Amino acid sequence: MRHTIILLVGYLMILAPIEAARIKDIATIYGERGNPLMGTGLVVGLNNTGDSKLPSAQALASLLRREDGLTFTPSLLASGSIALVAVTAELGPYDREGTTIDINVSTLGDAKGLQGGILLATELKGLDGQVYAVARAGAISTASWTVEGQTGSKMAKNHPTSGRIPNGAHVERSERSTVIEMIGGQRHFTLTLRNPDLTTAQRIQEGIDAFVAGCVLVEDPGSVRVRIPKEVNPGQELQFISKVLEVDVEVDLAAVVVINEKTGTIVAGGHVGISETAIAQGSLVVKVKEQSLVSQPVAPLTENATTVVVPDTSISVDEEKGHLIRVPKVVTVTELVDALNMIGATPRDLIAIFNALRAAGALQAELRTM
């Protein structure tokens, strides 16, 4: 008997009482965001796994000329010990001068790996061209390895051309976030839902009203504006915001079915249901068998005859008889899964079934395909 496995979102919510989530887990404060940083640097000390092209050597020649006044022809510096890399980082909304942030290092040329390399100091700039951090010289962690034999055989683990340096850059310039706005002479901040939903936004308003009444306005399904009461003294706004973010709210889950046809994965939301319908399901079983046969001459002394290996392929196709099964109307994920498991459908079959249910108007949910 075939078994069907579906990843269920909200399945535990059906089997157990619904638990509320904190506002801080489902929403962010408008104005809190990171800023991407990027720079181009050099990795040195590689064991013949660096670039074989001249751009990295040209960058090294420019660096030596600028820093030490040394002049070299790039062709003299070209070797497998250096690599031109892109250095990226994320400057958080509360990262201040003197703190450190993690950086990622990725090859730009044809380097085979960054294991054992040392990143030279690199300026990291924002999109405005200003330097916000400086990546300090440090060893790169790739969590990978590559082994190559003399005959060309090769084995590798993970991705050797990308690495990470924890706390690898010092912040030189901060980007301060503004979370408190002045509107009509009063202080406000705005909550932005990670998954916009009008019902959840309304529940956030009700939850905050129970904590402090008359201070909340739902602007749209993704934004809730909160007024800071006059009783909150200047300088204590963050303490008030912290208490608001701790308020528990029941999150409403949309009825959505997500299908990844490449992997055969199906994710069904907690409110997914189907109307009463009938489903006919049949399948093809294709078996491919390959083997090698030895062909020998009929007689041992047959002229110009040799023994050879001949590949042989056999293919068989069996079609199972389709059957029509009535599926009653269901309203929960558990009942939906039970109804579909009655058919004995595989995930691949379920993809076709869900598409057909949507076309027939029997699927009471949004269907998204990845």
Q: 179 with 29: CB under 8 angstroms?
A: yes
Percent of the chain with pLDDT over 70: 72
* Amino acid 103: pLDDT: 95
Q: Which of 86-100, 159-173, 242-256, 351-365 has the lowest mean pLDDT?
A: 351-365
The answer on pLDDT for 313 being more than 60 is: no
Distance separating alpha carbons of residues 220 and 202, to the nearest angstrom: 10
The answer on pLDDT for 323 being more than 60 is: no
Which two three-digit tokens encode residue 24? 């801080």
What residues contact 193, with CB distance under 8 A and at least 6 apart? 26, 27, 200, 201, 204, 221, 222, 223, 224
Q: Where do the domains of the chain lie, and which CATH numbers do they carry?
A: 1-18+253-370 (no CATH), 21-31+178-249 (3.30.1360), 35-171 (no CATH)
Average pLDDT score over residue span 228-246: 91
pLDDT bucket at 126, cuts 50 / 70 / 90: very high
* Amino acid 10: pLDDT: 37
Distance separating alpha carbons of residues 298 and 293, to the nearest angstrom: 15
* Amino acid 17: pLDDT: 42
For the four alpha carbons of 43, 44, 49 and 51, in that order, the dihedral sign comes to: positive
* Amino acid 85: pLDDT: 93
* Amino acid 7: pLDDT: 42
Average pLDDT score over residue span 87-114: 91
* Amino acid 8: pLDDT: 41
* Amino acid 156: pLDDT: 62
Secondary structure element (H or E) that encloses residue 61, with its range: helix 54-68
pLDDT bucket at 149, cuts 50 / 70 / 90: low
pLDDT bucket at 335, cuts 50 / 70 / 90: low
3-state secondary structure 70-124: CCCCHHHHCCCCEEEEEEEEEECCCCCCCCEEEEEEEECCCCCCCCCCEECCEEE
Q: 74 with 57: CB under 8 angstroms?
A: yes
Averaged pLDDT score across all residues of the chain = 78
Distance separating alpha carbons of residues 154 and 365, to the nearest angstrom: 48
Average pLDDT score over residue span 185-196: 92
Average pLDDT score over residue span 33-48: 90
